[in-house]
Structures are given as structure tokens and as C-alpha cells.
């Protein structure tokens, strides 16, 4: 089972990102769960969402404490939230930043596999808005290989409908190609 | 098979729609809100006949009373303070023998204010004369709704389907959502009400009962709820035949119980965590098992059959019985005593107000019960 934690700010689509990943896994015949941090969400406040993907039905009904992967949608969270909390040794960190993996990693992150992508730039170009969830899911699929790119693209197109679906799918593909 | 990736709440709303309700009335309250919102959207899209966004839960349940008295199939969803605002009318609905279904998204009750999961809300309505069914996962929740309508309409008793708030309602996962075609093979397309408010054939309902009559009505209600155990079992079989899915005998479910020395007894989504804990402990040769109470009211005292020869039972529950022992523990202990068994019964309450109870916690609970000779009553984690 792969356990993923997404960190974002209210309005950046961390919950939807997890759901799209969960749906992609389901579409490939895998089993998954996506769920928000249970509570009250506010725009701009730090939020978390979670995703579990497995070959067997997921029977866990508990919070997610020790993720295999952490996805950081907003680099400003690094100063306020312990985004690496509980991350398994050798786990994957995927961060939205202009920096490269070595610069972004810092001292604390050395025991993890760091990946970075400038998802904000991609989102601004493709969507005209700094909403990076779909872009980051594209990068996540590349670094984990947990589902196929085309599966995610199809789910994104279905979820967002004709107009937004196309631009979001482009953001997915761009970050899939650009992630370092 | 129509397995799809969907949020538990939305899956429940789809099944409610496909049970073809005549009347739905809701006042949204977290964590049941998504069920109500989705039904509201379905009404706007013309997928269900009726939806009323009422101004309180008291009105929601009162509309259900009216709709059911008029012979309709009626539904609402709520939890916690919302369920408590319905309290008075819950008793009226069962006393008037009105079929109806509530999906309760189990949540902690005030005070302190808390929106997270436990089961104090529905447990506190245990004496309202309703049938209560607790689901262990979202698949079971969607399977329980058609059964609930059928049981309710056959027994003239209201049914509450309980699903843990957030732990089930807010999870997006793969669910085989029963389609309308399948449901209609099982549930009559329309409720066939033997007694109903009808201007062509006027009757009165919910009348005054003098002291010489009142007790008889209440005793009848009690005996009929006990008899409803047979309906709960029968409908599990019938739904199982249509859907291919069964959950124990409908009243309770035994998991790795037969050769176990210690049994974990509980209700709701914690059961699947317990399954994982038991799998891990069995891999190390520990003889532990689970008996899940699915139907809490009527309480299946016959479950004691599953306790024969067991050394210890630990009852875990997400509710307290303030000033006395916890409610599920009390029922289980009573069943053990009535069956003349010597099994020791331990009590652990916990998971209150969303305090997470993990697979590891359950392993620790079972290890502690194994170690301690004398039964205890504790609240876990405090």
C-alpha cells in the first residue's frame, strides 16, 4: 500500500487532487481511499488531504500518520507546517517550487528522495490561475508511477468537463514532463 | 458489478434515490451534509420526486411522520444535535408505527462542541423504539439502505442506518453502488401501506390512550421490535441473494471467532481496523477474533452462542453510559449472564469526539485483556 499526504492551502485543491488520484487508481482496478483532514476548512489556511492506494481493498479507518509520499502544493507551508512529520525513511517529497531538488531539500530533507517542479508557473501558463493540484498530480504520477499518466489525464478531463478539463490535462502533462 | 470510485455520502444518496422515496426532508448538519446536499441536487435535476430543505431537524422528522402516515416512502439524514432535536418525534414515529429511514452519520454530541465521530448520538436514542443498524464500511452502508426500507415497511417500525461520520461519510473509495434495476428486484417500487391517511377512507393516527390501554400499546411495540430480529435476518438473506453480499446473519457477524480465546466486540467502522489487528495477531499465533454487533436494536441476545467456550470478551464502544457502565457492554454482559456463561467481559470506551483508534491501539487493547485476570472498565487513551 502506498500512502500519500498532500499539503496545501484552502482553495488550492489538495482535496480534489487526492480524489483524482483515488479515482485514477480505481479506474485501473486498484483499491484506494481519498479523504480530507477531518475538520473545518478555510480558504488560505493550511490544509491536508490523504490518499491510500493498494492492490487489495483498503480496510483502514484511521488517520494517516506515516506517509510514503508527501506532496507540498505551496512552498510557504515549509515555514509553518511540519510537512515531513512521520514521513517514512527514504520516502518521497514532491514540492512545488522554482528551486531544484538539492536546493529545496535542505538539511532536514536529506534522508528523503526530493523532487521539485515549478507547478505555479505551469498553472499560470495553462490555467491562468495559481491552482496547482492537477499539475502536481501529474508530477506525482511521474515520480511514483502509481498510476498511468493517461489514466490521470482521463480522470482530470472527466472531472473538469470540456473547457477546464483540457487546460488541466495540459497542466498534468507539463508537470509530468518537467518534474526533477 | 458497478464498482466505482465515489464518496461514501454520495453513494448513499444514489441508493436512496434509487429506492424511489416519495418524500425527503433534510436540515444539513456535518458530517451528514453531503448526503442531504446530493439529494437536494438530485431533486433539482428531477431525479427524485420531492426534497424539502426544512428549517430544523424537528421539522424534517415531522414531515417524515406526515409523509409516512399518508402512505409514502420517506427519508432523512442527520446526526448528533440534529438527531437530538428530533428526539421527541422519534418516539412518536415508532409509537405510531410509521415506516421511515434515517441515515445517521455518527458524530459526537455537545458539549464541548465537536463535529467528529463517535456513536453517543444514536446510542442515546436506543430506547426510542427504532431499529438500529451499524455499518462497518461504505459498501455495507449502501447495501443497508434498501434493506432498511424493506424491514421498515414490513414491520411498521422506523429504521436508523448508522454510519460513522468522516471515517465513512467523507471517504472517496471503490464502492459497488447497487443500481436501481437491482434494487427494484428486491424492494417494491412503491410502499404498500395497509393503513394510511386517506380522505376517501378516513382514520385517525397517534390518538390519546387512557391508562387501561397505553401500556398495551407500548408492550406491543416492544414485542414487535423483538420480533423484527427475524426480519433483519430474512432481509440479509434476501438482499444477499440479489446483490451477492452478506454481512453475518444480519444481526451480528463473526470474524475469526470460532477458535478464538479472546473476542473483540464492537460496532461500526472500527471493525475493519480490528480485522487488520486480528490478522496481524493471528500471524503471531494469538487466538483472537471479532464478533461485530450489526443490529443494536433489537439487541440480539442470541449472540451469546458465539461466546460459548470463550475465556474473555472485550467490548469496545464509542459511547459512554454516564453514571453507569457503557451501553453496549451492558447489553453484552447481560447476554452472557442470561446464557449462563462464565466468560469474563471487559469494557473499553474510546474514540470519543474523533480521537483516532488505530489498528495498533486495538492490538494493545487485546494484549492488555489477555494479561489482566480481572475484568476492567476503562476509557482508552485518557
* Nearest-5° Cα angle at A48, A45 to A52: 165
**Residue of A15, A29, A38 to mutate for B, most B C-beta atoms under 10 A:** A38
Contacts of A63 in chain B (CB under 8 A): 356, 358
**Angle in degrees, 0-180, between the axes of helices B87-95 and B211-243, rounded to the nearest 10:** 90
* Degrees to nearest 5, angle at CA B232 with B230 and B237: 95
Compute the distance between CA of residue B107 and CA of residue B115 in angstroms, rounded to an integer.
Answer: 6
Is residue B330 within a helix (H) or strand (E), and if so which, with residue range? helix B327-338
Which residue in B has a C-alpha nearest to residue A36's C-alpha?
B170
Confidence of residue A93 (pLDDT cuts 50, 70, 90): very high
Per-residue pLDDT at A73 exceeds 80:
yes
Separation CA B74–CA B22 (nearest Å): 6
Q: Is B209 on the interface with A (CB under 8 A)?
A: no
> pLDDT digit string (tens) for B48-68?
999 999 999 999 999 999 999
Q: Are residues B137 and A33, on separate chains, in Cβ contact within 8 Å?
A: no
* Chain A with chain B: Cβ pairs closer than 8 A: 70
Alpha-carbon span B290 to B270, nearest angstrom: 11
DSSP state of B256: S
> Any chain A CB within 8 A of the CB of B279?
no
- Mutation target to probe the A interface, by most A beta carbons within 10 A, among B3, B5, B117 is B5
Phi, psi of B268 (to 5 degrees): 95, -160
Greatest Cα pair distance, chain A, in angstroms, is: 44
Q: How long, in residues, is chain A? A: 180
Instruction: For B9-56, write each residue's pLDDT tens digit.
Output: 999 999 999 999 999 999 999 999 999 999 999 999 999 999 999 999
Cis, peptide link before residue B31, omega less than 30° from 0 = yes
Could you tell me if B270 lies within 8 Å of chain A, comparing CB atoms?
yes
Find the mean pLDDT for residues A75-89: 92
pLDDT in tens, chain B (382 residues): 679 999 999 999 999 999 999 999 999 999 999 999 999 999 999 999 999 999 999 999 999 999 999 999 999 999 999 999 999 999 999 999 999 999 999 999 999 999 999 999 999 999 999 999 999 999 999 999 999 999 999 999 999 999 999 999 999 999 999 999 999 999 999 999 999 999 999 999 999 999 999 999 999 999 999 999 999 999 999 999 999 999 999 999 999 999 999 999 999 999 999 999 999 999 999 999 999 999 999 999 999 999 999 999 999 999 999 999 999 999 999 999 999 999 999 999 999 999 999 999 999 999 999 999 999 999 998 7
Instruction: Give the cell for residue B280.
Output: 496481524
- Alpha-carbon distance of B258 to B303, in angstroms, equals 13
Is A38–B116 a contact, with Cβ atoms under 8 angstroms apart?
Answer: yes
Rg (CA), chain A: 15
- Stretch 133-162 of chain B: residues touching chain A, C-beta under 8 Å: 137
DSSP state of B373: S
Residue of A nearest to B176 (CA): A26
All structural domains of chain B, each given as residue ranges with its CATH number in brackets, are 3-243 (3.40.50.970), 252-379 (3.40.50.920)
Q: A27 and B168: CB-CB below 8 Å?
A: no
pLDDT for the residue numbered A107? 73
What does the DSSP assignment read for A56-111? S-----S---S-SEEEES-GGGGGTS-TTTTPPTT-EEEEESSS-HHHHHTTTTTT
Selected residues 3-32 of chain B with any CB under 8 Å from a CB in chain A? 3-5, 7, 31
Question: For residue B176, what are the β-bridge partners?
Answer: B3
Closest residue of A to B268, CA-based?
Answer: A61
Q: What mean pLDDT is reported for chain B?
A: 97
Q: What is the mean pLDDT of chain A?
A: 94
Determine the distance in angstroms separating the CA of B157 from the nearest CA of chain A, rounded to an integer.
31
- Establish if B223 touches chain A: CB-CB under 8 angstroms: no
CATH number at residue A159: 3.40.920.10
Q: Enter the C-alpha cell of residue A36.
A: 480530507
In Å, how far is A79's CA from the nearest CA of chain B? 27
pLDDT given for residue A40 in this prediction: 67
Contacts of B356 in chain A (CB under 8 A): 62-63
Instruction: Report the residue from B5, B170, B270 with minimal CB separation from A35.
Output: B170
Q: What is the mean pLDDT of residues A6-30?
A: 95
Nearest CA of chain B to the CA of A41: how many Å? 13
Element (H, E) at A54: strand A46-54
- Per-residue model confidence (pLDDT) at position B1: 60
Position A175 scores a pLDDT of 97
Instruction: Return the DSSP state at B249.
Output: T
Read off the pLDDT of each residue in A109-125 and give the average, rounded to a whole number: 93
Cross-chain residue pair B273–A62, CB shorter than 8 Å: yes
Contacts A65 to B, Cβ<8 Å: 358
A153 pLDDT band, cuts 50/70/90, is very high
* Residues spanned by the domain of A166: 2-178
Beta-carbon separation of A26 and B5 below 8 A: yes
Instruction: Check CB contact of B168 with chain A, cutoff 8 Å.
Output: yes
User: pLDDT by residue (tens digit) across B289-313?
Assistant: 999 999 999 999 999 999 999 999 9
Would you state the pLDDT for residue B170?
Answer: 97
* A36 neighbourhood in chain B, CB within 8 Å: 170
pLDDT tens digit sequence for A41-59 = 678 889 999 999 999 999 9
Query: Among B160, B205, B196, B187, which residue's Cα sits nearest to residue B72?
Result: B196
Q: pLDDT value at position A11?
A: 86
- What H or E segment, with its residue span, contains residue B139? helix B138-155
> Among B358, B30, B362, which Cα is nearest to A36's?
B30
Q: How far is B263 from chain A (nearest CA, A)?
A: 19
pLDDT of B335:
98
The C-alpha atoms of residue B18 and residue B33 are separated, in whole angstroms, by 19
A59: chain B residues, CB-CB within 8 Å: 137, 272-273, 275-276
Q: Domain count of chain A?
A: 1
CA distance B219 to chain A (A): 39
Contact B269 A61 (CB under 8 A): yes
Alpha-carbon A105 to chain mean position: 17
Amino acid at each position: 500500500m502506498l500512502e500519500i499526504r498532500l499539503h496545501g492551502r484552502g482553495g488550492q485543491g489538495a482535496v480534489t487532487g487526492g480524489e483524482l488520484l483515488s479515482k485514477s487508481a480505481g479506474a485501473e482496478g486498484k483499491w484506494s481511499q481519498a479523504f480530507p483532514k477531518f475538520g473545518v476548512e478555510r480558504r488560505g489556511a493550511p490544509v491536508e488531504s490523504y490518499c491510500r492506494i493498494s492492490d487489495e481493498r483498503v480496510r483502514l479507518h484511521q488517520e494517516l500518520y506515516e506517509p510514503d509520499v508527501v506532496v507540498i502544493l505551496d512552498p510557504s507551508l515549509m515555514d509553518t507546517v511540519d510537512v515531513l512529520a512521520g514521513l517514512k525513511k527514504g520516502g518521497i517529497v514532491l514540492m512545488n517550487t522554482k528551486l531544484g531538488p538539492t536546493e529545496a531539500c535542505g538539511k532536514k530533507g536529506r534522508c528523503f528522495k526530493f523532487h521539485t517542479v515549478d507547478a505555479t508557473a505551469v498553472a499560470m501558463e495553462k490555467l491562468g490561475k495559481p491552482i496547482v493540484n492537477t499539475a502536481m498530480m501529474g508530477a506525482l504520477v511521474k515520480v511514483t508511477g502509481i498510476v498511468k499518466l493517461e489514466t490521470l489525464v482521463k480522470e482530470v478531463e472527466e472531472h473538469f468537463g470540456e473547457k477546464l478539463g483540457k487546460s488541466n490535462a495540459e497542466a498534468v502533462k507539463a508537470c509530468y514532463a518537467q518534474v526533477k | 458489478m458497478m464498482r466505482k470510485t465515489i464518496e461514501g455520502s454520495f453513494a448513499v444518496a444514489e441508493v436512496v434515490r434509487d429506492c424511489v422515496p416519495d418524500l425527503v426532508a433534510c436540515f444539513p448538519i456535518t458530517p451528514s451534509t453531503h448526503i442531504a446536499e446530493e439529494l437536494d441536487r438530485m431533486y433539482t435535476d428531477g431525479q427524485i420526486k420531492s426534497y424539502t430543505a426544512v428549517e430544523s431537524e424537528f421539522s424534517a422528522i415531522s414531515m417524515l411522520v406526515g409523509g409516512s402516515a399518508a402512505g409514502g416512502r420517506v427519508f432523512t439524514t442527520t446526526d448528533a444535535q440534529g438527531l437530538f432535536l428530533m428526539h421527541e418525534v422519534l418516539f412518536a414515529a415508532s409509537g405510531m408505527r410509521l415506516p421511515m429511514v434515517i441515515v445517521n452519520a455518527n458524530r459526537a454530541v455537545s458539549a464541548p462542541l465537536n463535529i467528529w465521530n463517535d456513536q453517543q448520538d444514536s446510542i442515546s436514542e436506543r430506547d426510542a423504539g427504532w431499529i438500529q443498524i451499524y455499518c462497518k464500511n461504505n459498501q455495507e452502508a449502501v447495501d443497508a439502505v434498501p434493506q432498511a426500507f424493506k424491514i421498515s415497511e414490513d414491520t411498521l417500525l422506523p429504521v436508523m442506518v448508522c454510519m460513522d461520520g468522516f471515517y465513512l461519510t467523507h471517504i472517496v473509495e471503490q464502492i459497488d453502488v447497487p443500481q436501481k434495476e437491482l434494487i427494484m428486484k428486491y424492494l417494491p417500487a412503491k410502499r404498500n401501506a395497509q393503513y394510511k391517511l386517506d380522505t376517501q377512507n378516513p382514520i385517525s393516527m397517534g390518538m390519546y390512550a387512557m391508562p387501561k390501554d397505553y401500556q398495551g400499546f407500548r408492550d406491543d411495540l416492544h414485542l414487535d421490535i423483538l420480533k423484527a430480529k427475524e426480519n433483519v435476518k430474512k432481509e440479509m438473506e434476501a438482499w444477499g441473494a440479489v446483490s451477492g453480499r452478506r454481512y453475518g446473519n444480519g444481526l451480528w457477524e463473526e470474524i475469526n471467532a470460532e477458535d478464538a480465546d479472546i473476542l473483540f466486540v464492537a460496532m461500526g467502522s472500527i471493525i475493519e481496523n480490528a480485522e487488520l489487528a486480528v490478522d496481524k495477531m493471528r500471524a503471531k499465533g494469538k487466538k483472537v477474533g471479532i464478533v461485530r454487533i450489526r443490529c443494536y436494536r433489537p439487541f440480539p441476545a442470541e449472540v451469546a452462542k458465539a461466546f460459548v467456550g470463550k475465556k474473555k470478551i472485550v467490548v469496545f464502544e464509542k459511547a459512554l453510559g454516564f453514571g453507569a457502565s457503557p451501553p453496549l457492554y451492558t447489553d453484552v454482559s447481560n447476554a452472557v449472564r442470561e446464557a449462563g456463561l462464565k466468560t469474563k467481559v471487559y469494557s473499553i470506551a474510546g474514540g470519543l469526539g474523533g480521537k483516532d483508534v488505530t489498528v495498533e491501539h486495538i492490538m494493545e487493547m487485546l494484549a492488555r485483556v489477555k494479561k489482566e485476570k480481572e475484568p476492567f472498565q476503562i476509557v482508552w487513551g485518557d
